[in-house]
Amino acid sequence: MTSGVAALWSHRNSLRILVRRDLAVKYQQSVLGYLWSLIEPLGMGAIYWFVFGVLYSRDTGRHLGEAAGSYPLFLITGIFAWMWTSSALSEATNALTGQSRLITTMNVPRQVFPIGRVTGRFAEYAAGLPILIAIAVIYAAHGRIHPGWSLLSLPLAVAVQAVLLVGLALLLSAWNVLMRDVERFMRLIIRVLFYATPIIYPLSLVRESGLPGWLKVAYELNPLVGIFQLHHAIWYPDEFPDARLLATTVVGSLLVLAAGWWSFRRLEPAVLKEL
């Protein structure tokens, strides 16, 4: 894995070119261009705010605690990070099948292609951060949030999420070449993960629910739970994951990265033959 990372680093310019090409192709015939990376999460946030912040505001506010007075910020923070996750997983799954000609002709590590999809979607997430910060400034000016040291949760959340997504991208892209059902299966999994992760609701809602204890433990084994807690903790320090959840998230993400890298290297000969 060390030699593979070194090879990937030596071809970082190729990675940058692929990311720029993907972004250019994605938005070349779009009038609004990069604005779509902002419009979609903001639109989703508006819908969920209307449902849970207006129609069911009494039930929602009872579990939100500190975030009750700034629920739109809570929503947008989670949805922006979720768009990076869902888009990266969707596009990385067919990163090899959709670029077979490039893969068989370019002399670069094949990991560049799925990792490039994750990096490209991160660029879209980063483009939305100024909007997120502007909304947070408005709420901070009205005294509804009090960010401080918790702002350091942002680089930690991004780092752990990147590790997890790269591992999943390597795993899914290789297996999708050999079994095309993986792409269809991931469409369902992504929908399930959205509601099985504390994005539009706080983790306390799950912990205080009447679910069986084993199901709550299984729920928190999902690394995305801790990752989204870190994202929410940027503005709400009380949401910062406890030591057990944080350790589960970091260790789980590293294990996924190791498994993804190992699987990709083992399957690479069969993948190239299939392509």
Average pLDDT of the segment spanning 172-183: 85
The percentage of the chain sitting over the pLDDT mark of 90, rounded to a whole number, equals 32
- What is the pLDDT, as a whole number, of residue 146? 81
Position with higher pLDDT, 228 vs 20: 228
Q: Is the pLDDT of residue 92 over 90?
A: no
Position with higher pLDDT, 20 vs 223: 223
Position with higher pLDDT, 66 vs 236: 236
Q: In angstroms, how far is the first alpha carbon of the chain from the final one?
A: 24
Position with higher pLDDT, 6 vs 97: 97
Q: Is the pLDDT of residue 31 over 60?
A: no
Does the model's pTM come out above 0.85? yes
Determine the structural domain holding residue 210 and report its residue range. Answer: 5-274
Average pLDDT of the segment spanning 174-190: 86
The residues, any chain, with a CB within 8 Å of residue 26's CB and separated by 6 or more, are 120
pLDDT tier at 101, thresholds 50, 70, 90 = confident
- What is the pLDDT, as a whole number, of residue 29? 64
Alpha helices in the chain, H assignment, sequence order: 2-10, 12-27, 36-48, 57-64, 71-93, 100-105, 112-141, 153-178, 181-195, 203-207, 213-220, 223-233, 243-274
**Count of domains for the chain:** 1
pLDDT (tens digit, 9 = 90+) per residue, 243-267?
A: 999 999 999 999 999 999 999 888 8
